[in-house]
Every structure is written in C-alpha cells, then in structure tokens.
Structure 1
Amino acid sequence: MTTNSHDASHLHAVNIVTGIPSAEGVSSIPISDCQMRSQCGNSDDFSEWVQIRVIGIGRSGCQIVDRLYQRKYEEQCVQLIAIDVNEASLYQCGADKHIHLAASVADREKYVAEIRVRVEQAKEAICSAMRRAHMLFIVGEASDSTGNAAAPLIAKWASEMHIPNVGALIMPCKSDTDIGNELAYDTLNQMRLIADSVIEVSADDVRKHLHRHATSACISLEANALVSEAIRGVIDLVMLPGYVCVDFADVCSAFDEPDIGVIGIGFASGPDRAHLAAEQAWSSPLMGGIQTSQINALIAIISVAPGTFRLSEGKTVMTTILNKVSSETFFIYGARFNPSLGDRIQVTIIATGHTR
C-alpha cells in the first residue's frame, strides 16, 4: 500500500491478486502457501512472476544469505547466491548457488586487484544467476576486500541488464583501522554512483543498539541479522500472502532513490503495541539520527503472528510514521505473518534517499 498524504483515515488493504482495494479492509482473497507455490513454482514460464535475487559477498554477505536460506523460498522466485574467496566457509553457507573466487596474493592492494580480476572471470556465472531477476540485493561488509572488488562490478552488470539493484552494506566502526575505513568508504562511494539505492548499516549504530561494551563479533552478527531481516521483510511483502500486501512496482519506486538508506526496527507488546513499536523503530540508533526532511521514500513493514493483527494497528503505525515525515515522502506500508512473534508486533522501517 502506498500513500503520500498525512491523512491515514482512508487506510485500506489491497488484494494481492487483483490490486483492488477490498471492502472489508483486508485482502478479500487470502492466498495460501500452496497457491503461491503453484503460481511461482509449477508454471513453465516464470517470467510473469516477480523474481528476486540476493547476492552475498564475502564472509558477512554469505552469513546474511545463509540466514535467508533458512526461510526456504521458492527457488524460481527467490534465488540466493553466495560469493567468496574462502572456499571452506563459502560451501558451509546455505545458498542456491555458490561462486568461488580463487585469490592468494597477500598484499592488500594487489589482493583487491586480483579479486577484481577473478570477479571479471566469473562474470558469465554471476550474470547467469541474475538473469530474469526483477530486483537484486547486493549485501556484504563494505570494508571487506571481496566486497570492495565485487559489489560495484555486480551492480554495474545488473544496471546494464536493467535490473533494479539495491546495495546493503555494513560499515565498520570509526575506531577500526584507517585501512578498513578507507576501503569501506571507497566501496560505499562506488555503490552510490552505480546502484539504484544503498542501505547503510553502521557498526557504530549497531553498537548503540546493543551496548557500548559489545564485542566486534556480536556487532557483526547483529548487523548481519538486521540486514537479513530487512531484506526478508521486503521479500515476504512482495512474494507471500499477508494481511496488507503491496505492489512490487511501488517497492521498486521506493528503492529508486539516490544517496543512502537506513533501517530501524522496533518491537512492542500490550494494548498500545503498534504505536510503541513504530516509535521505537523510528528512534532506533540504527536510523542514525537522520533529519525527516532528508527522507524521500519510506517502507514500513509490520510483522505480527497470524490471528493477532487489528486493522486499527496498521492505521496507528501509518499515522505515527507519517506524522514524522514530509508530506512529499513516498510511503509504502504492508503487514506480514511471523508466527514466532507471539503477542508482540514488529515494525521495520527502511528509509531511502537521504545523505548522512
């Protein structure tokens, strides 16, 4: 569902099949997993169904892909590709396709250059994996040598193939080595020039989200989890039945914004859970204290356990967030199932189109 207005009084759901607003405010034709599977998986021609690719690069990228792989999406609709230099860790990662980049030079600058050559040599395999995709996510750690070499090239090839592509990069703590930070910002700047949109997850912000004494390993795992959760939310909204479904073209429009994107996540329970979770997501350290006037597009993903969602909660989340942004902000919201939440509600915000 999309809106550009601060008036949430006309909140309604959209039928996932027809795109027609339903009279009751919920999807008028619920679609079972079996029906979705038959639409995506049993057709001889998948070109008419939305196809999403996620490419994980380097250690963190492969860990993110592995998390998503546990979701068991239909392979024809969602394909997960892992790319890394370390062959042992690469094949321990759950993915639909593994691409190994053999590189052995010890010097860092020469190492990045060699990986870039290996990526070029693997172009046919990478482009074959991306073929027929309607959206591509490129994920990994920005300070990783493999990510620095591969991510911009893959984004460039995706653009040449007219595939909307979104980079989701984990940035290192500012206290990390100068070399790591230099490599990270080089990756980020290249991706900003090439990719349609770039989501930045700052390790410093993740540390605030946890606690200031969190170890580097904990910060890395939490950052990977946040990126995978945000991407899973977008995929689920587009691919799976839910309480309030969204149009894929609107999702593409939200990501077709220059500059940087950020993620905020909030959880709450109780009678006022929708408002509390929306406020928590908005004030999350992961949002980096951005100015509301800087946001051009925003996706709000509501996650609830089946049978616990009230339409008024969708309106509450929508109103809470819309009151914080410009009336010109392109806004999408949707609601999906997550049985593990119990009586809690989760609100995930992806804001794009601003400069830090």
Structure 2
Amino acid sequence: MGGTFVGESSLTSEEHGRIVFYAVNTDAQALRKSQVQQTVQIGGETTKGLGAGANPNIGRKAAEDDQDEIRKMLEGADMVFIAAGMGGGTGTGAAPVVAKIAKELGILTVAVVTKPFAFEGKKRMQFAELGIKDLSQYVDSMIIIPNQQIQKVLPKNAKLIDAFAAANDVLRNSVMGISDMITSPGLINVDFADVRTVMSVQGQAMIGFGSAVGEPGAGRAEEAARLAVRNDLLEKIDLSNAQGILVNITAGMDLVFEEFNIIGETIGSFASEEATVVVGTSLVPEMSDEIRVTIVATGLGEIAGNEPIQVVRQGLSTQNIEGEGRVNIVPELHRRESVEVSRTASEEYQRPLDKPITDRLEAFKKNNFFNPAQREEN
C-alpha cells in the first residue's frame, strides 16, 4: 500500500493459484506504473490523484473515503496479507483502515511492514511506530522488516537496488511461504484451518527460511533448520514464548525419517510447552539432495534488546501454487515493530482511528513516550 514497491514484479511474475494481488495507493501515477493488474485508487477527492505527501492523516482519510471500494476488494477472501511501508503517508495511514475492514469481515489478516532507515529521520520513525500501533489493533499477526537491519546481511559494496530487493524478498518469501503451506499438496498436508489456528494467535510473528544440500543424514537437516530459526536478523528475537508454530519441510524422495525427527527436535527446543505446533511435509522428486525448511512462529513476546520481531532468510524460491482456496494480498513495502504504550497516555489510544496521528504524536511527547527513562521518573 502506497510508497514504492520495488519488488512488485517478483511477487506478480508467476501464477500463484488463487492468490489475488491488489495495489492500493492515493497516487494515480504510481498505480499506472504498477505491475499489479488489480489496482484501487483511494482518496481521489482528497489528494486529486497525488500522493499523501508523507502525511498519515491524509492517507487515513483517503482510505476512509473509499471504504466501500476496500470492502469490495476484500470480500470473499479467506486470508489477507497487508504489505505496507510504515512512516510515510498512505502506508501508515491507510493500512490500519484496510485491516479494520478485514477484521470486520472476519478475515484472517497478516501484516508485513517495514520501518524506515535511520537516515530518514526521527519524525518518520515516530510516525512508523504510531502506524504500527494502530495496525496492530486489527491484524492477527504482524511481521516487521527493519530496513536498517538489511545492511547486516548485505556486503558493504551492495548496490542500493540490492538493498531494497532484499527487503522485498522478505515480503515475497513471507507471503509465498505461508500460502505454499496452504495450497501445495504434500505427504503431510497443512490446510487453512491449521494456518488460521496458528496465525490467529495475536501478536508479533516471524518467518524464517533455511535450505541445505547434501546426502541424507549428512547434516543437511540440522543446517536447514538452523538457518530457518537463526540468522543475522533473528539473533535478538526471543522465540521461547512462541505460542503458535507452523513448519513446512520440502525435500526430495530421499528424505529420511531421522532428518524429519531432527527438524522437529530443533523446533521443539525453542517452542513453548503450550504452543500449537503444526508440521507439514512435501516430497518433490526434482529436489534431489536438497532440503528446505520454512518456519512461522506467532504470539511472540518482547525481544531482548531494542529490536522487535525481525524476519528472514533470503534466497528461497517458491513453486507455483495450485489450490482451491483464495488469498487476497494488498501489496506494498514492508515492515513493522512493536511499540510500548505509556500508561499515563493510554486514553489517547483506545480508539486509534478516532484521532489524527499528529495529535497522538504530540500526546506521546507530552507523556515522555519516546523517553522511557523520564517516564519511569514520573
């Protein structure tokens, strides 16, 4: 939603069964350039076809003005992914409105959002945090991609386009990884009911991917599982309190039972004893010597340190999906993070869509929301 969706072509270049992509924006020119066939322009009367000018209030009003179009877009969907860039105008302001409508329709909703780079400034980051808080009221699970963290997994001489492509790969793999679980037939199937059970554990979520090549029993299962749950972006995440776990294992016909067991034990080592764990397995004859592991963890607690839930493992290609279910996707740049709310200012945020975001930002400042040390002194 809104912003620049660098990875749009990577999401829409393949057929993906009953997945339907929508691009939603206030900017008519951006929609004309979009590679997504289904587009929804919002706020025509408010923005006159221009962008939201980095103003979340305008983005929100644009979505509210065209709620009927948004509702029509969402009706009939079983699951919706809302991909949005937080900190700007349309993504920050409109995404919570879309999520609210999806919730009213009873649709399982997952947000995949980005937070700004540090150089984009404190104000944009503050808007992002407020937008994330608004959005979290209405989605079942949220995956955050901190753009600043991307530099940790890229070489120093990486091109700018490669950095944005890496972030968009996270979005693509998140969407396709989950939808693959639902729609791809397997030896042990994961159906939509399983996904709903796990993804409806409201809160932060992560998705990880791991792939390894080698002879059966030669350590490839351990490596794939390790990469799926631990990488540079995920090191600070506390997975011990995960309340829902989805695991999908894809391998060739040479997958041995011991490898299946090893992956299960790896997942069990961090899952809560009360967690709902669903494991699916697909055997693909063409995948000789290779094993892939996809993990989705939901209901996660706060992270050690400052960083919130982070996502992902790059480079996992997904297969074409065929299935009966329908999944709607509202594309956009991606990422998100959790926000601690000051108790003294809680009344300001009980109905997040009722107050302009700039007004709430001032309230946050008055209550020292952005300075935890001062809050504690008060």
TM norm. shorter chain > 0.5: yes
2:298 counterpart residue number: 352
In structure 2, which of residues 9, 14, 37 is the aligned counterpart of residue 71 of structure 1? 14
Distance apart, 1:172 and its partner CA:
2.4
CA distances 1:184-229 after superposition (whole Å, capped 9, x unpaired): 1112111112211111122233322224554554222111111211
2: CA distance, partners of 1:218 / 1:288: 22
The amino acid across from 1:192 in the alignment is S
2: CA distance, partners of 1:341 / 1:206: 29
Structure 1 residues 88 and 106: CA distance shift in structure 2, 3 A: closer
2:127 counterpart residue number: 183
1:294 counterpart residue number: 241
The amino acid across from 2:176 in the alignment is R
1:234 counterpart residue number: 178
SS in 2 for 1:279: helix
Structure 1 residues 153 and 332: CA distance shift in structure 2, 3 A: same
SS in 2 for 1:257: coil
2:316 counterpart residue number: none
The answer as to whether partners of 1:145 and 1:183 remain within 8 angstroms in 2 is no
The answer as to whether partners of 1:199 and 1:352 remain within 8 angstroms in 2 is no
SS in 2 for 1:179: helix
Structure 1 residues 205 and 302: CA distance shift in structure 2, 3 A: farther
Distance apart, 1:106 and its partner CA:
8.1
The amino acid across from 2:267 in the alignment is I
The amino acid across from 1:273 in the alignment is R
Tell whether 2:200 aligns with 1:260: no
SS in 2 for 1:294: coil
1:81 counterpart residue number: 22
SS in 1 for 2:248: strand
Distance apart, 1:258 and its partner CA:
2.7
Residue correspondences, number: 295
The amino acid across from 2:162 in the alignment is C
Distance apart, 1:155 and its partner CA:
0.5
The amino acid across from 1:172 in the alignment is P
What are the residue-to-residue correspondences of 1:12-161 with 2, within 5 Å?
Answer: 57-59=1-3, 62-63=5-6, 66-74=9-17, 77-101=18-42, 102=44, 103=47, 108=53, 111-161=55-105
2: CA distance, partners of 1:238 / 1:70: 20
1: CA distance, partners of 2:52 / 2:30: 21
Distance apart, 1:318 and its partner CA:
1.6
CA distances 1:86-125 after superposition (whole Å, capped 9, x unpaired): 434434433351112343678846x433332322232222
Structure 1 residues 286 and 217: CA distance shift in structure 2, 3 A: same
1: CA distance, partners of 2:142 / 2:72: 23
SS in 2 for 1:95: coil
SS in 1 for 2:190: coil
SS in 1 for 2:137: helix
Tell whether 2:189 aligns with 1:245: yes
* Aligned alpha-carbon RMSD (Å): 2.7
1:32 counterpart residue number: none
Gaps of 5+ in 2: 304-378
CA distances 1:120-174 after superposition (whole Å, capped 9, x unpaired): 2322222112111111111122223211111100000011111111111122234
2: CA distance, partners of 1:86 / 1:226: 24
2: CA distance, partners of 1:99 / 1:314: 44
The answer as to whether partners of 1:263 and 1:286 remain within 8 angstroms in 2 is no
2: CA distance, partners of 1:212 / 1:143: 25
1: CA distance, partners of 2:34 / 2:283: 26
The amino acid across from 2:58 in the alignment is E
Q: Identity percentage over the alignment? A: 24
The answer as to whether partners of 2:253 and 2:285 remain within 8 angstroms in 1 is no
Task: Give the number of the structure with larger relative contact order, counting CA–CA contacts within 8 Å between residues 6 or more apart.
Answer: 2
SS in 1 for 2:240: helix
Structure 1 residues 166 and 183: CA distance shift in structure 2, 3 A: same
Distance apart, 1:307 and its partner CA:
4.1
CA distances 1:48-100 after superposition (whole Å, capped 9, x unpaired): xxxxxxxxx1245x4555433223123xx321111123434434433351112
The answer as to whether partners of 2:26 and 2:52 remain within 8 angstroms in 1 is no
Task: Report the TM-score, using the length of structure 2 for normalisation.
Answer: 0.70
Gaps of 5+ in 1: 1-56
Structure 1 residues 340 and 233: CA distance shift in structure 2, 3 A: farther
2: CA distance, partners of 1:106 / 1:128: 22
2:366 counterpart residue number: none
2:276 counterpart residue number: 330
